[in-house]
Chains A and B, each alone.
Chain A
């Protein structure tokens, strides 16, 4: 459960964007938050999280900066850009359409 392949294609991006829409966070915190919010159903592994973060950063949806944590550790903190916010809205809309459609099919059957 929670393997990347189990996540519907593209949903990881949406999860990351949605998480960061609340507040900027570093990689570990993003993974943790997704896990907690989903009630431990969704576990994002590092192997899919970091490539996704880097890809989103390359796309210009995210912006990253280095910050020092309370423990004195360097952390790369990601934040949503304006373009990222729009992208999130788009992905959210398509996700809602998709899940509604799936819901219909599943209930009808």
Chain B
């Protein structure tokens, strides 16, 4: 034990008190010499002779010192410290080289770190709550919405209020289970002053309906005030809300006295009781709510009839917090039993066989809630993986670039290396020193890269999520960039280091580092790196071209409707309209807007194409169509107003469009699309036949319109039904968007149309206004994003490859000055000299293009699902990218090549 303590003490002393240790060593050796001298003098020798003899006998003092130092076992570290010092001095001697190398690496590492931190934030990071690992979601389904009607089959994602209560009451291995409305919508928010007057204007903000125990289950403590309590979620409780940190800043300027202030959400005044901590954004990654209010306020928040006690309305998502030591699997099994028991009990004694089968098939598939619900995770995994791959390629190119730089630099340092070898530096020692220099470059590159990434990541993230998801330099990100930097060091530093280790000291010194053998070898080593850079940048260029062509196709494809249409949503409720009276309002707005100059057509509908809405009706029937035995005929439908086909530019194929006579009192009617007609009436006309949507009243088909894509570019044409919004008796009657077809750019009509609507009834709230074209374009967000980033990465890659190529060609020209001089002296023409240089580039280019095309064929599979109207092997894109690369490469090598032309043969020859 004592021995080990001594050993450690000695090592530490050697490490940190090196000068003392060295001095002691010197003293000890001196003492030895002195002792020898004393002995000789005692034997009768003169002191001078004695000293000489002693020193002669002693031998190489420095050698002994070194040998003693080596026994301390810290020379590796010593060497490292010395190498770092030496490396930094060497880099400072060549600031231009160091700067280019560090910037190149910073670009590569920074791009990767930025993309990775986004990846980390949306894919990997757990929610910032207490023990996130104990949160369990009752469904992995990330979509939102509601289901009404019959018992949902299979895996449940949504629960009715009574199912939630039953599960909560059951003895599940959860501490508690919370519920939240899956469909949280925007509400009109008025901030009220202390005296009750309106302080700040209205805004449409996301408000989230949650059960009273939501925050307790999530494990979130209020940053200010308190969170919601179970008592807040009882009928008759005072209206209270919790505000998010972001909107506390935005609406109240982070007023510390915000607790007790009042906001009006829709028509109800809510008292703010607390602020959530900044890192908490709800259970959903993206779309962070501004307010959380108890579930009991559902009718007021959603402005619709209460669904709180409806047994057939499934609208809640559930999340539970496991008790200590409990597992997700046990919870799932218990919840499944409890749910089936509840459903069986509810069905009562009159349960029939088919209901029993249904109940037996019902199940809950739990997933970990530690990272919250992320739609991004589902939707954007592909684009993000793509970006990570593209960033990886950029890093590889950056590494190849720096490797080329280092190799070229190695030739100019040939003499230095040779001298070191001649002085006895081992090969391993040289490799280590060169790797240390590379590591220094990587270190600075990574530091700069991380700074850049830290600065750009939030910006990047805003593309991916609506909400304030936090990106922060955390352990995972730092670990990632450190690993990246280390791997990069090996990738770009190993070849030059081995090259240095191989240096033949004698040959170099004899020819003072300029021998032809040496040149060929160094260029031979750089060659693969140049070719790799060209190949990789071609891969990115091809990917970018494919994305660009796909985006072009997406934007140019006619989806079956015209896009020069202005869309303006309105909320008639503040005007006090009822389902019955709202039709007259629509008529007045219709007439006013239609009379505006430049307006070619007006209609209104519940939602427009590409808006992201979808409503479908199960258990529908079509006259004359017999569904298969177990088929549940599901039809998609949208509520629209008069003049719809003409305004949207979906030509009427037969029959008529709706008009203002198709109201509640009139016979229920419907229009269908051609896909519908073809499926259900392949041989006859559907006109005059009846259909029922989800068990509603029978509607007579009065018109057939041409097919249009409603949900997105990649959706197949499906049978589609249009029903008159004026015949809508439910709340949907209030969901209204005016669609105005204009002459010329629709966007220029924004103000006119809004003012016209406000002029009809100033109490009506006019919502967001945008053109249908903008809405269509917005739906290509992910594709646009992918194209933008891949394009940017491709440009970066081309730039890096051009820099790398330039360096190599310029280096080659400089080394061949003599040869060029001789050729010029012997009468070579300008073209011949140029050709001499450019020929090499073309050879590299050909190899690079072949490798790049093969690589792109493999890599473009990643893109396959992103592309529209263009295949992953589109020859035109490949050719365009290759030509682009060739132009850049040849142009880049022409710059040093023209320098070769200016070589004066006499100077060149004399230099030899």
Q: Is the CB of B502 closer than 8 A to any CB of chain A?
A: no
Q: Is the CB of A6 closer than 8 A to any CB of chain B?
A: no
Whether the pair A83, B3 counts as a contact (CB closer than 8 A) is yes
| Given A47-B63, A51-B68, A58-B72, A76 and B28 contact (CB-CB distance below 8 Å) | yes
Chain A, residue nearest B6 (CB): A60
- Residue from A29, A46, A71 within 8 A of B29 (CB atoms): A46
Q: Is the CB of B714 closer than 8 A to any CB of chain A?
A: no
Whether the pair A60, B31 counts as a contact (CB closer than 8 A) is no
Whether the pair B36, A47 counts as a contact (CB closer than 8 A) is no
Q: Is the CB of B7 closer than 8 A to any CB of chain A?
A: yes
Expressed in whole angstroms, the minimum distance between the Cβ of B16 and any Cβ of chain A is 16
| Residues of A contacting B: mostly | helix
Chain A, residue nearest B32 (CB): A28
A27 to B70, CA, bound (A): 18
Whether the pair B64, A51 counts as a contact (CB closer than 8 A) is yes
Q: Is the CB of A55 closer than 8 A to any CB of chain B?
A: yes
| Given A51-B68, A51-B71, A27 and B28 contact (CB-CB distance below 8 Å) | yes
A63 to B5, CA, bound (A): 12
- Residue from B7, B31, B64 within 8 A of A26 (CB atoms): B31
Whether the pair A28, B60 counts as a contact (CB closer than 8 A) is no
Chain A, residue nearest B36 (CB): A28
Please name all residues of chain B whose beta carbon is closer than 8 Å to the beta carbon of A83 when the two chains form the complex.
2-3
Whether the pair A58, B10 counts as a contact (CB closer than 8 A) is yes
Expressed in whole angstroms, the minimum distance between the Cβ of A29 and any Cβ of chain B is 8
Q: Is the CB of A36 closer than 8 A to any CB of chain B?
A: no
Interface residues of A in 30-67 (CB under 8 A from B): 45-47, 50-51, 54-55, 57-60, 63, 66
A50 to B29, CA, bound (A): 8
Whether the pair A76, B27 counts as a contact (CB closer than 8 A) is yes
A27 to B34, CA, bound (A): 12
Whether the pair A47, B7 counts as a contact (CB closer than 8 A) is no
Expressed in whole angstroms, the minimum distance between the Cβ of A65 and any Cβ of chain B is 11
Whether the pair B6, A63 counts as a contact (CB closer than 8 A) is yes
Please name all residues of chain A whose beta carbon is closer than 8 Å to the beta carbon of B4 when the two chains form the complex.
60
| Given A27-B31, A47-B64, A76-B31, A71 and B70 contact (CB-CB distance below 8 Å) | no
Chain B, residue nearest A51 (CB): B67
Please name all residues of chain A whose beta carbon is closer than 8 Å to the beta carbon of B29 when the two chains form the complex.
46, 50
A58 to B63, CA, bound (A): 19
Whether the pair A60, B64 counts as a contact (CB closer than 8 A) is no
A59 to B71, CA, bound (A): 10
Whether the pair B31, A74 counts as a contact (CB closer than 8 A) is yes
Please name all residues of chain B whose beta carbon is closer than 8 Å to the beta carbon of A26 when the two chains form the complex.
28, 31-32, 35
Expressed in whole angstroms, the minimum distance between the Cβ of A35 and any Cβ of chain B is 11
Q: Is the CB of B86 closer than 8 A to any CB of chain A?
A: no
Q: Is the CB of B660 closer than 8 A to any CB of chain A?
A: no
Please name all residues of chain A whose beta carbon is closer than 8 Å to the beta carbon of B71 when the two chains form the complex.
51, 54-55, 58
Whether the pair B28, A81 counts as a contact (CB closer than 8 A) is no
Please name all residues of chain A whose beta carbon is closer than 8 Å to the beta carbon of B64 when the two chains form the complex.
46-47, 50-51
Whether the pair A76, B24 counts as a contact (CB closer than 8 A) is yes
Expressed in whole angstroms, the minimum distance between the Cβ of B14 and any Cβ of chain A is 8
Interface residues of B in 641-695 (CB under 8 A from A): none
A76 to B2, CA, bound (A): 21
Whether the pair A46, B10 counts as a contact (CB closer than 8 A) is no
Please name all residues of chain B whose beta carbon is closer than 8 Å to the beta carbon of A71 when the two chains form the complex.
38
| Given A51-B70, A55-B71, A75 and B31 contact (CB-CB distance below 8 Å) | yes
Expressed in whole angstroms, the minimum distance between the Cβ of A30 and any Cβ of chain B is 10
Q: Is the CB of A73 closer than 8 A to any CB of chain B?
A: yes
Interface residues of B in 54-98 (CB under 8 A from A): 58-60, 63-64, 67-68, 70-73
- Residue from A45, A50, A60 within 8 A of B68 (CB atoms): A50
- Residue from B7, B25, B68 within 8 A of A59 (CB atoms): B7
A81 to B64, CA, bound (A): 25
Please name all residues of chain A whose beta carbon is closer than 8 Å to the beta carbon of B27 when the two chains form the complex.
74, 76
Taken residue by residue from 24 to 55, chain B's Cβ proximity to chain A (1 for < 8 Å, 0 otherwise) reads as 11011101101110100000000000000000
Whether the pair A45, B59 counts as a contact (CB closer than 8 A) is yes
Expressed in whole angstroms, the minimum distance between the Cβ of A4 and any Cβ of chain B is 11
Q: Which of B3, B36, B73 has the most CB of A within 10 A?
A: B3
Taken residue by residue from 11 to 29, chain A's Cβ proximity to chain B (1 for < 8 Å, 0 otherwise) reads as 0000000000000001111
Please name all residues of chain B whose beta carbon is closer than 8 Å to the beta carbon of A81 when the two chains form the complex.
2-3, 6
A27 to B309, CA, bound (A): 96
Chain A, residue nearest B8 (CB): A60
Whether the pair B73, A60 counts as a contact (CB closer than 8 A) is no
Whether the pair A58, B7 counts as a contact (CB closer than 8 A) is yes
A61 to B6, CA, bound (A): 10
A50 to B28, CA, bound (A): 9
Chain B, residue nearest A71 (CB): B38
A54 to B70, CA, bound (A): 9
Expressed in whole angstroms, the minimum distance between the Cβ of B113 and any Cβ of chain A is 42
Chain A, residue nearest B38 (CB): A71
Whether the pair B60, A47 counts as a contact (CB closer than 8 A) is yes
Please name all residues of chain B whose beta carbon is closer than 8 Å to the beta carbon of A46 when the two chains form the complex.
29, 32, 58-59, 64
Please name all residues of chain B whose beta carbon is closer than 8 Å to the beta carbon of A57 when the two chains form the complex.
10
Please name all residues of chain B whose beta carbon is closer than 8 Å to the beta carbon of A29 when the two chains form the complex.
35
Chain A, residue nearest B63 (CB): A47
A60 to B9, CA, bound (A): 10
- Residue from B10, B35, B67 within 8 A of A50 (CB atoms): B67
A60 to B5, CA, bound (A): 9
Expressed in whole angstroms, the minimum distance between the Cβ of A47 and any Cβ of chain B is 5
Please name all residues of chain B whose beta carbon is closer than 8 Å to the beta carbon of A82 when the two chains form the complex.
2
A107 to B38, CA, bound (A): 44
A83 to B6, CA, bound (A): 11
Please name all residues of chain A whose beta carbon is closer than 8 Å to the beta carbon of B72 when the two chains form the complex.
54, 58
Expressed in whole angstroms, the minimum distance between the Cβ of B6 and any Cβ of chain A is 5
9 chain-A/chain-B pairs, Cβ below 8 angstroms: A45-B59, A47-B64, A50-B28, A50-B68, A60-B6, A75-B31, A76-B31, A81-B3, A83-B2
Query: Top 5 closest A-B pairs, CB basis?
Result: A60-B3, A28-B35, A51-B67, A55-B71, A83-B3
B residues touching A (Cβ–Cβ < 8 Å)? 2-4, 6-7, 10-11, 24-25, 27-29, 31-32, 34-36, 38, 58-60, 63-64, 67-68, 70-73
For the A-B complex with A26-B32, A73-B34 known, give 9 more contacts whose Cβ atoms are closer than 8 Å.
Answer: A27-B28, A27-B31, A28-B36, A47-B60, A50-B32, A54-B25, A58-B71, A71-B38, A76-B24
